[in-house]
Amino acid sequence: GSVQTGIVLCKFGALCSNPSCPFGHPTPANEDAKVIDLMWCDKNLTCDNPECRKAHSSLSKIKEVKPISQK
């Protein structure tokens, strides 16, 4: 079977505005990236690879993320 790494992806992805979110987010180098490899990127928020498919901390740790507006 698949290896369980314990990583859960954040449903908000790059739009996550919680700096302490424990879930996985796309690379800060490409907010449209998909997290495909369920492992933590060793560069995490300093990752500069737009092709990176690993999990990263919430991008709100390094920049302001506006909360999703409720319409």
Give the pLDDT of residue 35: 96
Query: Is residue 68 situated within a structural domain?
Result: no
What are the pLDDT digits (tens) for 33-57? Answer: 999 999 999 999 999 999 999 999 9
What's the predicted TM-score (pTM) here? 0.85
Query: Is residue 69 situated within a structural domain?
Result: no
Query: Is residue 49 situated within a structural domain?
Result: yes
The 8 Å CB, 24+ separation contacts for 26-33 are 26/56, 26/59, 27/52, 27/54, 27/56, 28/56, 28/59, 28/62, 28/63, 31/59
Give the pLDDT of residue 70: 63
Query: Is residue 56 situated within a structural domain?
Result: yes
Residue 62 reports pLDDT greater than 90: yes
Residue 71 reports pLDDT greater than 90: no
Q: Domain range spanning residue 48?
A: 1-62
CA distance 48 to 41: 11
CATH number at residue 20: 4.10.1000.40
Among candidate residues 34, 66, 62, the one with its CA nearest the CA of residue 50: 34
